[in-house]
Amino acid sequence: MPEGAPGERLGEIIRRQRELSDLSMRQFASLAGISNPYLSQIERGLREPSDRVLDAIAAALQVSADTLYEQAGMTVGEEPETSAVEQAVREDPRLTGRQRQALLEVYRAFVAHARPAPRSRPRNS
């Protein structure tokens, strides 16, 4: 994970995801509906995007805005620690943004519905 202030980390994550999606800054700015200079400022950590802009960026990357915040260490409230599986999915350069999001959603759904193994209870005789 990139070091620095949360805004810098968020910008670095957005840049890395854009590059992994093989999009130029101009192409990506157009997809997100923002200007090229504004995207540049976000990626360099000079400006933090508004929620609306972050939602547009996340949609263009085919991930959720929460995922971007989480990766930048900007989550609000108490969240469980990121699992090794989630971290591996996020860092695998062979996956597209859409594939990452799909895998994370499936994994989280399985984990959320997993029930711990039943404990043995002594029987009343």
CATH of 6-113, one of 1.20.1050.10, 1.10.260.40, 1.10.8.60, 1.10.10.60: 1.10.260.40
Domain ranges of the chain: 6-113
Q: Please, what is the average pLDDT of the chain?
A: 80
Mean pLDDT (whole number) for 25-51: 91
Between 69 and 1, residue with greater pLDDT: 69
- More confident position, 17 or 115: 17
Q: What is the pLDDT of residues 91-109, one digit of tens each?
A: 888 988 878 888 888 887 7
**16 pLDDT band (50/70/90 cuts)?**
very high
pLDDT greater than 50 at residue 78? no
19-30 pLDDT per residue, tens: 998 999 999 999
User: What is the pLDDT confidence band of residue 77, given thresholds at 50, 70 and 90?
Assistant: very low
SS (H, E, C) the chain: CCCCCHHHHHHHHHHHHHHHCCCCHHHHHHHHCCCHHHHHHHHCCCCCCCHHHHHHHHHHHCCCHHHHHHHCCCCCCCCCCCCHHHHHHHHCCCCCHHHHHHHHHHHHHHHHHCCCCCCCCCCCC
